C-alpha cells in the first residue's frame, strides 16, 4: 500500500522519507501551501525527490505521498497528490477506490475518482455533510 505522511510544520525525518521512497518505488509527490496557493511537486526517482525537497524546504503543513502502483500506469501522471480542478484543493489517497478501478485504464483509481466525482461536485462540497458522506462511501476506510 502507498504511504502518506502529514507534517504540520513541514518537518519529516529524513529516515522516514528514505524508507518510504525505497518501499514505494512507483513515484512520489508532495503538496504544501505558499502565498495562498497549493504547490504540488512530483517525480519518479529518489534523486528527483531529494533535489525538489531541498529546493522547496516546506516550513508549514505538508502532505507527502510515495506510491506503489495498483491501478493505472506507473508514471508521473499517476503520482499523488492531484489537484481538484475548480476547487482550490488537492488530494492524496492511500488504498484503492474500488468503484473507480477500471481494468486496463492508464489512469489510477484516485485520478478517476477526482475526475468523475470530486470535480463534478459543488465548489463548497466539504462544507456539506451529505456530500462528505457520499465521498466517504466511495473511499471507504482507506
Answer for the pair 81, 31: CB distance below 8 angstroms, yes or no. Answer: yes
Answer for the pair 42, 28: CB distance below 8 angstroms, yes or no. Answer: yes
Structure-derived torsion over alpha carbons of residues 55, 83, 28, 24, reported in degrees to the nearest 10: 160
Beta bridge pairs of residue 62: 7, 32
Residue 29: per-residue pLDDT: 96
Least confident of 12-21, 37-46, 127-136: 127-136
Residue 40: per-residue pLDDT: 97
Statement: residue 140 has pLDDT above 80: no
Q: Convert the pLDDT of each residue in 80-131 to its tens digit.
A: 999 999 999 999 988 777 665 566 788 888 899 999 889 999 888 999 999 9
Query: Does residue 100 or residue 67 have the better pLDDT?
Result: 67
- 122: which DSSP letter? -
What is the average per-residue pLDDT within 33-61? 94
Amino acid at each position: 500500500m502507498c504511504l502518506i505522511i502529514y507534517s504540520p510544520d513541514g518537518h519529516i525525518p529524513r529516515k522516514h522519507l528514505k524508507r518510504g521512497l525505497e518501499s514505494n518505488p512507483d513515484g512520489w509527490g508532495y503538496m504544501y501551501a505558499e502565498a495562498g496557493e497549493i504547490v504540488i511537486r512530483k517525480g519518479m526517482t529518489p534523486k528527483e525527490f531529494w533535489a525538489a525537497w531541498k529546493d522547496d524546504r516546506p516550513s508549514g503543513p505538508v502532505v507527502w505521498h510515495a506510491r506503489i502502483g495498483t491501478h493505472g500506469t506507473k508514471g508521473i501522471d499517476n503520482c499523488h497528490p492531484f489537484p481538484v480542478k475548480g476547487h482550490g484543493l488537492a488530494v492524496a489517497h492511500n488504498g484503492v477506490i474500488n468503484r473507480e478501478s477500471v481494468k486496463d485504464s492508464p489512469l489510477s483509481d484516485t485520478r478517476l475518482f477526482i475526475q468523475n466525482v470530486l470535480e463534478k461536485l459543488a465548489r463548497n462540497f466539504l462544507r456539506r455533510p451529505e456530500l462528505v458522506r457520499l465521498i466517504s462511501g466511495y473511499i471507504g476506510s482507506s
